[in-house]
Amino acid sequence: MAKESKPQQQGGMIKIQYYRSSIAAPETHKQIVKSLGLTKLNQIVERPDTPSIRGFVEKVPHLLRIIE
């Protein structure tokens, strides 16, 4: 008998805004911001709504916000 997989969200996207500078932040925080594709302050990017992307944002809540 095959295992049933959980239903995945299809097409779920979140908007992430880079609203505070990472100049004085640790290097790992800067890498997280850069890996999300953010380069300028107040820039907004749209990324898939996955647990890994949500985890990135939760690591640096003082630098990023999720736009609903």
35 in a domain, yes or no?
yes
Average pLDDT over residues 2-11: 51
1 in a domain, yes or no?
no
Beta bridge partners of 21: none
How many Cα atoms sit within 13 Å of 60 on the Cβ side?
26
58 in a domain, yes or no?
yes
20 in a domain, yes or no?
yes
Q: What does pTM read for this prediction?
A: 0.80
Q: Where does residue 19 fall: left (phi above 0), alpha (psi -120 to 50 degrees), or beta otherwise?
A: alpha
Return the CATH number at 45: 3.30.1390.20
The number of folded domains in the chain is 1
User: What pLDDT, in 10s, does the model give residues 41-66?
Assistant: 999 999 999 999 999 999 999 999 99
52 in a domain, yes or no?
yes
Distance CA 51, CA 23 (A): 27
Distance CA 1, CA 51 (A): 28
* Range(s) of the domain holding residue 53: 13-67
